[in-house]
Amino acid sequence: MYELWIDLLQLTLPERTERCLNERLYGAIRDAILNRTFNAGARLPASRELAAGLGISRNTVTRVFDQLMIEGFVETQIGSGTYVADVQGSVEKSATSVNGISAAPLRLSERGAALASHSSAAVKQWGAFMPGVPDVRLFPHARLQKRVARVLHAASPGVLSYPEQAGSPVLCEALVKHLRVARGLQCDPSQIVIVEGAHQGIDLIIRLLADVGDSAWLEEPGYWGIRRLLEINGVQAHPVPVDDEGITIPKQSTPPPRLIFTTPSHHYPLGAVMSIQRRRQLLAYARQHQAIIIEDDYDSEFRYTGSPVPALSGLEADAPVIYVGTFSKTICPNLRVAYMVLPQALSDYFQRAYLDVYRGGHTATQQALGEFIESGEYAQHIRRMRGVYGRRRDALSALVEARFGSQLLSKEASDSAGLHLTLRLPPSIDDADLARAVAQQGVLTRPLSRYYLGQSLSRGLLLGYACVSEDEMIQPFDVLAECLAKVL
């Protein structure tokens, strides 16, 4: 047996490599045990014999034996030596039940299976005409990175450890001022929770405010992402039609929803601005039925005619509204920084839950972002991008009009905002098929029908213009126009 160990290890001890002798001997013995060359119960040669047989130091062998013992590959019996442990047997026993029936294969939970049964996020996320994606090339990344580096250089342990509050205080302070000026929203820093994207914030809202089986209103058509979050949390999504004044208020809804998701400043994806009358009605409805409105203010910074529309949250004192804003459209989606402004009565619960569930972090990035806002550079970047996107919007509209006339484009002034245009198509056209055909030629669009939870005759294509310059849009538009001309 002793010779067998020596021969085998000499054969399998890999040739001189970068790895040290220690690691090579450890690997050779471990592999021999795992592939059953040495079976459970086999006695290992004494360390002195093995060292002599392999021509290596005894220290090396004892270090390797110690490591194998710590990991459970071998065991020692005092006074009688070192033996191969029963590693295979314990694996087999755990994979097989007592009466020989195989254990259940790996499987998803029912919730997981429902979620994984389809996916709504696009496979490709960058290129003409991906809706909702800003031109990430035009943000002064280097300037923000310099600030991050400066913060890290001077960082106190508090900035580098687990955070004590859900968001950098510097960013929360900066947002309070920014939201007052830009969104007409008065709040205190303690009401702000910084999250890693609006998606994460909305997930936390659903978990903290709705129970399984509760219902939530979703705008119809509306953002698919919220639908997915409701689904995974077992909350019923109830589609509520949107007209040109925003989300409508159903005459009867029994029981009333716990949550109402809305995009009042710029309906997603069709663009209506919620009228003041509808805002008041919605707030009154929410107060009366103890529902909470979630104001998803995803891209209100980009409005090309008139003034920015103030936030619904700022309309009445103590409004039952959670405001959700994001840097995904103003800076870049990959930054994963968004924020929630909570009613005072809820903010402590959200702070605690956020730190327990997600732990938080990225404080240096958040602090740098706060300083970037304070310095005025953020507002300057938004002003610049408003000009860039406005011109791109005009250029894409002009291409559509030149080729198809004006009937495919909405002419409402309220719709002169955001990062995409919606081409309205006749109900006879299968917009999902059309989007697939266009995608096969490398051009990205999203079919309007996909934004409906229920059945709808509305057909169209969402075309994002923000991430393509005027020059870059000409060739993909030709591709799109060719495909469209075939079905119109």
Ligand X SMILES: Cc1ncc(COP(=O)(O)O)c(C=O)c1O
Closest approach of Cβ 398 to ligand X, in Å?
25
User: Which residue stretch of 61-69, 136-144, 148-156, 195-203 sits at the interface with ligand X (rule: CB under 6 A)?
Assistant: 195-203
Q: Is 264 in the site for ligand X (CB under 6 A)?
A: no
Tell me which of 198, 235, 332, 462 binds ligand X, using CB under 6 A. 198
Nearer to ligand X, 223 or 389 (CB): 223
Contact 35, 73 (CB under 8 A): no
Q: Is 325 in the site for ligand X (CB under 6 A)?
A: no
Q: Distance between CA atoms of 488 and 420, rounded to whole angstroms?
A: 21
Contact 87, 40 (CB under 8 A): yes
Q: Is 420 in the site for ligand X (CB under 6 A)?
A: no
Q: Distance between CA atoms of 26 and 43, rounded to whole angstroms?
A: 16
Tokens of 48: 């002195």
Contact 450, 331 (CB under 8 A): no
Rule CB under 6 A: which of 128-157 touch ligand X? 132
Closest approach of Cβ 431 to ligand X, in Å?
18
Rule CB under 6 A: which of 282-301 touch ligand X? 296, 298
Closest approach of Cβ 396 to ligand X, in Å?
18
Contact 358, 351 (CB under 8 A): no
Nearer to ligand X, 223 or 302 (CB): 223
Per DSSP bridges, beta strands 215-220 and 259-262 are: parallel
Q: Is 326 in the site for ligand X (CB under 6 A)?
A: yes
* DSSP conformational letter for 448: G
Quote the Cα angle for 240-120-438, to 5°: 105
Contact 410, 271 (CB under 8 A): yes
Contact 204, 194 (CB under 8 A): no
Q: Is 199 in the site for ligand X (CB under 6 A)?
A: yes
Nearer to ligand X, 193 or 483 (CB): 193
Closest approach of Cβ 223 to ligand X, in Å?
4
Closest approach of Cβ 271 to ligand X, in Å?
12
DSSP string covering 150-217: HHHHT--HHHHSS-SSSS-HHHHHHHHHHHHHHH-----GGGEEEESSHHHHHHHHHHHH--TT-EEE
Q: Is 268 in the site for ligand X (CB under 6 A)?
A: yes
Count of chain residues binding ligand X (CB under 6 A) = 14
Q: Is 167 in the site for ligand X (CB under 6 A)?
A: no
167: left (phi over 0), alpha (psi -120 to 50) or beta: left
Rule CB under 6 A: which of 370-389 touch ligand X? none
Nearer to ligand X, 215 or 328 (CB): 328
Tokens of 131: 């809706």
Tokens of 71: 């990991």
Nearer to ligand X, 220 or 296 (CB): 296
Nearer to ligand X, 163 or 225 (CB): 225
Q: Is 333 in the site for ligand X (CB under 6 A)?
A: yes
Nearer to ligand X, 263 or 313 (CB): 263
User: Which residue stretch of 325-333, 369-377, 407-415, 464-472 sits at the interface with ligand X (rule: CB under 6 A)?
Assistant: 325-333
Q: By C-alpha distance, which of 39, 38, 63 is closest to 51?
A: 63
Tokens of 45: 């040669």
Nearer to ligand X, 74 or 332 (CB): 332
Phi, psi torsion values for 447, nearest 5 degrees: -70, 135
Identify the burial level of 133 via C-beta atoms within 10 angstroms of its C-beta, where 0-12 means exposed, 13-18 middle and 19 or more buried: buried
User: Which residue stretch of 110-118, 162-170, 196-204, 230-238 sits at the interface with ligand X (rule: CB under 6 A)?
Assistant: 196-204
User: Which residue stretch of 44-52, 73-81, 105-113, 191-199 sits at the interface with ligand X (rule: CB under 6 A)?
Assistant: 191-199
Tell me which of 45, 163, 167, 225 binds ligand X, using CB under 6 A. 225
Q: Is 328 in the site for ligand X (CB under 6 A)?
A: yes
Q: How many C-beta atoms surround the C-beta of residue 9 within 10 A?
A: 19
Binding site for ligand X (CB under 6 A): 132, 197-199, 223, 225, 263, 268, 296, 298, 326, 328, 333, 338
